[in-house]
Structure 1
Amino acid sequence: MQPQKTLLAVAMGIAMSQVSVAQADIVETLKEGDVIADFRLRYETNDTEGGADAATALTVRSRLGYETPSMGGVKVLAELEDVRAVVDEYAPEDTDYDTVADPANTEINRAQLSYAKDNFAAVIGRQRIILDNARFIGNVGWRQNEQTYDAALFNYKKDAVSVSYAYIDQVNNIAFKSVDVSAHALNAAYTGLAAGKIVGYAYLIDYDDIDRTTNTYGAYFDGKQPVNDLTINYRAEIATQSNETNGTDSDAMYYALEAGVTVSGVSFGIGNETLGSDSGNYGFDTPLATKHAFNGWADKFLATTPAVGLSDTYAKVGGAVSGVKLLAVYHSYEADEGSADLGSEVNLLAAKAIDKNFSLGVKYAAYSKGDAGADTDKLWVWGEAKF
């Protein structure tokens, strides 16, 4: 064999061995990543007085995905989400029945690139975004298909100061529909106060396909203090919103006050949340929120805030017995503009985490109409497994 060929063969052998080692290293590195497996089976009913027949839904939500381990602070995540209807006696699957907002479909739920180092973190791509209590920006995690965002999210935290900014290009909502937006979300928090934290925010949403722009600016103070054997909780929030739709300008205010006490593991709370009205023509709106968590689980004010606004006065009590979380909430609804009675509602919940992977729950909502509307009863029973 000629010397040149011998050297070439040796070089190729060394190169191939290095490739094999690199491939082995990559495989071993990927083994350290996280497999995402999340399954939820849920039975849900909706019996709304008048109109369509009472709905019954049995649906299965499956999420399967994978996130790589950190490689110099960089991670890649991909996740598929599928919703199947075992019993489909509900709209939108069958319009003869009342609505259960869990259509059957499959989508890419998340596909993101993230980076985290020291005080800075960023996520780019299709992702889950939850800011504060999700009243303005949330993932609607209660529904089988969660709401995600095609966005760039940046977070910075140092000592008692944290700042988050997101540019959102598209909202992927719970109906498996995409909404094109140009939205900016800025949220800044300071936790250095002994009495609690203070947060300021600005959420600016411009809809690409319709003539609508909504700009919301607000702040809240949230905290708790131990007093002997009690813990006192409190929260106060205020926001202002300007909305322009088809050339019509509207302005509305938002107020939220809550106070509570926890004693011997039992929590009591009272509060009021008011989504104000602009002269009875427009109600303060939170289009990207996890709305199911607010204003009653019957979702009577889910699609949009009434033009006369909404004043939700509520009382709640919660605790745990033998590891079972228990919660009861009573809501009384009134118009912010005028004196219309918008009804009342009772919410009941019992849920238990069996272990770190399995949980069960049952939830009930009973809405009684006011001057208008329709009495509504809803029931949920579910089991969830996460690995």
Structure 2
Amino acid sequence: MVRISSRLVLSYFVILPLLFGSPAVAGSAGAKGEADEAIKPYIELRYRLETVDQDGLPRDATASTLRVKAGIESGEWQGFSFKVEGEAIANVGAEKFNDTLNGKTQFPVVADPEDVVLNQAYVRWRHEGVADIKLGRQTVNLDNQRWIGSVGWRQNDQTMDAALVTVSPAKGFSATYGYSWRVNRIFGPDSPIGTFRNNDIHLIQASYDAPVIGSITAYAYLLDIPNAPGASSQTYGVRLAGKQDLGGAKLLYTAEYAQQSDYGPNPANFRHDYLLLEPGIATGPVTVKIGLERLEGDGTTALRTPLATLHAFNGWADKFLNTPANGLRDIYGDVVVKPNGPKWLKETTFRAVYHDYKSTSGNLDYGQEWNFLIARSFGKHVSVSLKYADYDSDGFATDTQKFWFTTQLKF
């Protein structure tokens, strides 16, 4: 029998007013004939079935969850606009997984606890091609989200209470500064690790689209997080991403280097390097990349990325969300196919990724992992995906297989 949590019912009282607005707001906009431009409502529904078979635990996990995300977004007036967005996550069916709050530790973790939250609420001012300023609760995604991201894969977004300023003083050049005092994590406000409060977080980034070469980005991320002293750090790095036309094919390349050290309340004393090398080639519907990613560790401490969209890196089985103390060296191959035809295959993506994991110190073998994805869009409003991860341990963590079915509707 299908069970829908009472939290989902509660979500309608929180989210639907955001979606449709108050009668006063809707009426005043309509009176001017500007309702569509002044206030734009939207809603997203995302259902996911996730299963986890993890050695070392007595039960397999089955998580059937529904996310309802809805809000209103205003049009611009003299460059000013605002956005308000609510989010609700509810279990659909039996709760056969450890959501990190329900105490069901006999099951593997699926970090999608039930919740109803104010996801985003910010004001914005922008002048096209000159400046963009956002103040309030917001998702923050910088570059490829390796250091700073909103963790869009999980049902609850990671957001920041922050001020974010981007300026574009010259063609091809932009600079961003962000300051955040609070991080709202995917675990939700009921979790003891769900909120980082009273932070002193500085996000500094500058990018230049260099002709012929590609996009060059320099960054500094200074994280003073009192609620997680061990995650406090200062990271300085540079990234290059570009492509070259080979006539019928494109050469792709990404290279990144960073150095991280202790900062703020972190009691440790360390200095670790980060390295990414990712060449690739794209021809027709096929893109192939090989990569080396290296997060250094010394056996006691290791490079950390606490504000990243971690699921996108080092395998979808999520065995390396925290870098092992001996560091992580990930060599991978990534193949993506987006067929041009026949017609029934268009808008479909096929992807396969293989990872080989080792330590950066101690010469330890961690294991290997295969990832597979099939994703399909049906117009602008509907998407469906099937995803699978198989981690084969060589002594680090345990063998784990995960499967996901996800469908999403956007209006």
Give the alignment's TM-score, normalised by structure 2. Answer: 0.86
Tell me the distance in 1 between the aligned counterparts of 2:229 and 2:336: 43
Among 251, 258, 274, the residue aligned to 1:239: 258
Q: Deviations along 1:289-339, whole A, 9 cap, x unmatched?
A: 00000000000011x110100000001111123121000000000000111
**Amino acid of the structure 2 residue aligned with 1:359:** S
1:121 and 1:156 in contact (8 A); partners too? yes
8 Å contact kept, 1:30–1:69: no
- Matched letter for residue 125 of structure 1: G
The CA distance in 2 between the partners of 1:24 and 1:134, in whole Å, is 37
What is aligned with 1:301? 320
After superposing the two structures, state which structure 1 stretch, 156-165 or 352-361, moved more. 156-165
CA contact (8 A) 1:232 1:260 kept: yes
Structure 1 counterpart of 2:196, one-letter code: V
1:159 aligns with 2:165: no
Counterpart residue identity of residue 119, structure 2: N
Q: Is 1:310 paired with 2:340?
A: no
The CA distance in 2 between the partners of 1:221 and 1:336, in whole Å, is: 23
- Match in the other structure for 2:24: none
Tell me if the contact between 1:52 and 1:98 (Cα under 8 Å) persists in the aligned partners.
no
Closer, same or farther: CA 82–24 of 1 in aligned 2, 3 Å: closer
- Counterpart-to-counterpart distance in 1, 2:290 and 2:126: 39
**Identical aligned residues as a percent:** 37
Whole-angstrom CA distance in 1 between matches of 2:309 and 2:227: 22
Pick aligned residue for 2:308 from 266, 279, 289: 289
User: Is 1:145 matched with 2:145?
Assistant: no
Q: Which residue is equivalent to 2:355?
A: 331
Q: Distance in 1 between matches of 2:393 and 2:367?
A: 4
Q: Secondary structure at the match of 1:249?
A: coil
Per the alignment, residue 15 of structure 2 pairs with none
- Does residue 46 of structure 1 match 2:72? no
* Distance of aligned partners of 1:141 and 1:23 in 2 relative to their CA distance in 1, 3 Å threshold: closer
Question: Which residue in 1 is equivalent to 2:208?
Answer: 190
- Cα deviation for residue 193 of structure 1 reads 2.5
> Following superposition of structure 1 onto structure 2, how do residues 13-28 of structure 1 map, counting pairs within 5 Å?
23=28, 28=33
- The yes-or-no answer on 1:275 pairing with 2:295 is yes
For residues 222-261 of structure 1, the aligned pairs below 5 Å read 222-244=241-263, 246-261=266-281
Deviation at 1:76, TM superposition (A): 1.3
Aligned 8 A contact 2:29 2:35 in 1: no
Offset at 1:96? 2.7
Query: Are the counterparts in 2 of residues 169 and 182 from structure 1 also a CA contact under 8 Å?
Result: yes
Show the counterpart of 2:181. Answer: 169
Pairing 1:15-164 to 2, within 5 Å after superposition: 23=28, 28-32=33-37, 33-87=39-93, 88-92=95-99, 93=102, 94-118=104-128, 119-157=130-168, 158-164=170-176
SS for the counterpart of 2:270 is: strand
Q: Mark the CA change 1:85 to 1:23 in structure 2 (over 3 Å): closer, same or farther.
A: closer
Counterpart of 2:399 (choices 375, 382, 387) is 375
Q: What letter corresponds to residue 53 of structure 1 in structure 2?
A: R
Q: CA deviation at 1:210?
A: 4.7
Largest Rg, 1 or 2: 1
What's the offset of the Cα at 1:83?
A: 0.3
Q: CA deviation at 1:52?
A: 3.6
- The aligned residue for residue 11 of structure 1 is none
Q: CA deviation at 1:36?
A: 1.9
SS at match of 1:292: helix
Structure 2 gaps of 5+ residues are 1-26, 189-193, 340-344
Structure 1 CA distance, aligned partners of 2:240 and 2:142? 15
Distance of 1:265 and 1:175 partners within structure 2: 38
Q: Does the 8 Å contact 1:202/1:218 carry over to 2?
A: yes
Could you tell me which residue of structure 1 aligns to residue 284 of structure 2?
A: 264
Residue 207 of structure 1 and its aligned partner are, at CA, apart by 1.1
SS of corresponding position for 1:82: strand
Scaled by the length of structure 1, what TM-score is found?
Answer: 0.91
Structure 1 residues 27 and 91: CA distance shift in structure 2, 3 A: farther
CA distance in 1, matches of 2:47, 2:267: 45
Aligned equivalents of 1:372 and 1:296: distance in 2? 14
CA distance 1:152–1:26, shift in 2 (3 Å): farther
CA RMSD across the alignment: 1.5
- C-alpha distance in structure 2 between counterparts of 1:89 and 1:268, whole Å: 38
The one-letter code sitting in structure 1 at the alignment partner of 2:46 is: R
Give, in angstroms, the shift of residue 138 of structure 1: 0.2
Give the AA of the match of 1:370: D
Once the two structures are superposed, what CA deviation does each residue of 1:127-180 show, in whole Å capped at 9, x if it has no partner? 011000000000000000011110000011231101111101111010012111
Alpha-carbon distance in 1 for matches of 2:79, 2:284: 43
The one-character-per-residue Cα deviations of 1:63-93 (angstroms, maximum 9, x if unpaired) are: 0100111111111111000000113210024
SS in 1 for 2:398: coil
**Deviations, residues 29-64 of structure 1 (Å, cap 9, x unaligned):** 444222120110000011100124110011001101
Q: CA deviation at 1:371?
A: 2.5
**Counterpart mapping for 1:208-223 below 5 A:** 208-212=226-230, 213-223=232-242
